[in-house]
Amino acid sequence: MKPTKLLAVLSLFGVFNAIAALELPIVDYRLADNSELWKKAKADEVPAPLIAMNRTNRPNNSYSSLFPKSFLQESMFTVCYQNCSNNDLFKVKNGSVTTLDYRGNHQWNVIEQTNVYFWLASYFRFLDERFYFKPDQYLKVFTNRDIKDESNKKMRNNAFFNPQDVSLSFLPASKNLLFKLLGGKINRSGLDPSVVAHEASHYFFHHLFPNAVNQEIGGLNEGFADYVANILLQNPKVGLVMLQGKTLRDSSSVLDGKGNMKVYAPNMEVHDLGERVSLALWKSRELSLDKNEFDRMVVDAVVELSENPYATIHDFKVLMMKRLSSVISAQRLSLAEANFELIFPGNPVKVDNLSFMLKPIRAESFIGFKIRQDIPTKLAEEMGVPASDAFNFTIIKMEKVSATQTAILVADETKTTTTPYWVVLDNTRGNILGIYDLSRKLVKNPDELEKLEKLITQVKNSAEFVKDFTGKLKSFTDLHNGKGDFNIAYRVNRKSVNQVPLTFNGREETAQRIDMELKRRVLTLILGIPDITHVSLYTMPNLNLTSLPEIEGQKVIGYKLQLANGTLMEVILDKLN
């Protein structure tokens, strides 16, 4: 940065020492749609006209309560720079606030932190005023968060809400060389008020509908998040600051980012489905004379929807249609209804019949897997998930419910118990219509559903899971034999064979575990392929399974792989008929 510009930005912070009330630099979204202003903007910076000073009293819980090192702390949330244990960019000196370090890159770190704080405080006020809603879960917020994903890559260009530890993370902008060479300019997510409001709305939605089964509710969540950001900022466009004047998503546009009409299709990616939701909401809101009442009606529909954990996007449509007449005049009502019908054609699907549960359970063919995953302790702590996770699942049988519905009997197996459940799938839209226990009771208890979460994911993705599993077995067997794609990326340094006990179809068997120590070739560095250090293959003799690869006459039935950062993944086929 040139010295003249540095001085200009530094002067923004001079006010901290001079007056008792705080003036925080924030990003004003109202000018973000002006492409002229962005022309000369550098990557990860916001043009000066978009920076506004906001006068505020100091946060009501600074340096107290849960996070004694954090200045920007309110009674319901805190905004920390990177993490909540050190590095805070603010400190109080002689009763006034000064930034710790605002030279060089730190000025944008400061602006990001104050911007997220300001917009979150506004958001909490807005929830109270518009929806009479007060969240009850303390929210931790990290700006410019330094975090790595499972494959040890620094996470960038995004922001996320983590319901596990009730936190919001704003990630840094890309510093990718190719990205820069191509002239790509992107801002860190925390500089964008619409991204702050969008992520905060996931936190809001989590209060309203915490235990949804179907991915379509994930799409509703995305659309709802855009919609609430839209109404808070009174702007249908999201992402203008992060993308330097370009639009990430536009709730007022009938075309999506790829130029397609925004119409529902089964199995849509959540943000794509979300764009359909926010369009339907934005367009019907325009037809309403009482916008505030309309907004409350949307939240009311989500709350009623949450009574059914198996709800789908079409159930949401029905609840909205039921309410439209209370906020839209009779003359405009048919227009609003036509909007919903156009974007989400059709009706919700119900389970056609339950007669499959009456048949005796005799499994002609079944398949089961033992899965184990370990991730580095630090990453697990940061993500608020367990570091080690072991899991068994078995598909016992499949029954046709009707032409478009299938029931799958799956078992969740632990050391002591095996609990089978019927999962009814709508094959057309890819939704789960219901999960029943063997006493034919629909599972609705949130705790029980939470326990079944992994099983549900496995059932929904079972086709891809089996494909991925057999694909990996084949690739690793090829690697063992010195051929295939993996052989281009890795070299097998050392091999050893061990006898190991293994349970297969309920019997104790002796299997072989072939351990391979890998050395990656330079190609993995260039292409960013994960640094796999060890691969093991489990093989067993005397199995008549033609679909599995072979090593020295034995069938390969499982693999274990280990990454340099400590991530471990093991999948073993342990039941098959």
Q: Which residues bind Zn ion (CB under 5 A)?
A: 222, 225
225 vs 273 by CB, closer to Zn ion: 225
Least distance from C-beta 202 to Zn ion, angstroms? 6
- Phi, psi dihedral angles at 498 (to 5 degrees): -130, 145
Is residue 217 a contact partner of residue 271, using CB atoms and an 8 Å limit?
no
Minimum CB–partner distance for residue 407 and Zn ion (Å): 32
CB contact at 8 A, 278 and 227: yes
Instruction: Give kind and range of the element (H or E) at residue 26.
Output: strand 22-27
Secondary-structure breakdown of the chain: helix, strand, coil percentages, each rounded to the nearest 5: 35, 25, 35
Q: Tell me how far the alpha carbon of residue 510 is from its chain's centroid.
A: 41
> What would the two tokens of residue 399 be?
């029954």
Minimum distance of Zn ion from residue 270's CB (angstroms): 8
DSSP element (H, E) containing 253? none
Nearer to Zn ion, 97 or 273 (CB): 273
Provide, rounded to whole angstroms, the least separation between the CB of residue 242 and Zn ion.
13
Nearest to Zn ion of 225, 327 (CB atom)? 225
Please say whether the beta carbons of 72 and 24 come within 8 A. Answer: no
* Shortest Cβ 126–Zn ion spacing (Å): 18
Q: Which is nearer to Zn ion, 160 or 179 (CB)?
A: 160
Q: In this complex, which beta carbon is closest to Zn ion, that of residue 4 or of residue 164?
A: 164
Question: Measured from the CB atom, is 195 or 532 closer to Zn ion?
Answer: 195
Ramachandran category for residue 18: left, alpha or beta (phi over 0 → left; psi -120 to 50 → alpha): alpha
Shortest spacing between CB 2 and Zn ion, in angstroms: 37
Q: By C-beta, is 274 or 348 nearer to Zn ion?
A: 274
C-beta of 45: minimal distance to Zn ion in Å? 24
- In terms of CB distance, is 221 or 554 closer to Zn ion? 221
Q: Which residue number, 172 or 239, has a Cβ lying nearer to Zn ion?
A: 239
Q: Which of 362, 439, 440 is nearest to 399 (CA)?
A: 362
Please give the structure tokens belonging to residue 259: 């130029």
Helix (H) or strand (E) holding 260: none
User: Which one, 225 or 233, has the nearer CB to Zn ion?
Assistant: 225
Nearest to 192 by CA among 160, 151, 238, 161: 238
Strands 550-551 and 554-563: antiparallel
Whether residue 555 contacts residue 548, with contact meaning beta carbons closer than 8 Å, is answered with yes
| Shortest Å distance, C-beta 222 to Zn ion | 5
Distance of closest approach, residue 197 Cβ to Zn ion, in angstroms: 11
Give the closest residue to 285 by CA, choosing from 234, 348, 245, 239.
Answer: 234
515's tokens: 């351990």
Q: Which is nearer to Zn ion, 157 or 419 (CB)?
A: 157
Residue 238 beta carbon to Zn ion: minimum distance, rounded to whole angstroms: 9
Helix (H, G, I), strand (E, B) or coil at 538: strand
Q: 506-528 burial by CB neighbour count: b if 16+ within 10 A, else e?
A: eeeeebbbbebebebeeebeeee
Calpha distance 386→373 (Å, rounded): 10
* Cβ at position 50, least distance to Zn ion in Å: 23
Interatomic CA distance for residues 301 and 321, integer angstroms: 10
Question: Minimum distance from CB of 199 to Zn ion (Å)?
Answer: 7
Query: DSSP label at 520?
Result: E
CB of 343 to Zn ion, least distance (A): 19
Of 249, 245, 222, 224, the residue nearest 236 (C-alpha) = 249
| 223 versus 549: smaller Cβ distance to Zn ion | 223
- Give the whole-angstrom CA distance, residue 93 versus residue 97: 6
For Zn ion, give the closer residue by CB, 168 or 411: 168
206 and 165 in contact (C-beta within 8 Å)? no
Q: Compute the residue count for the chain.
A: 577
Query: How far is residue 91's CA from residue 237's CA, in Å, rounded to a whole number?
Result: 36
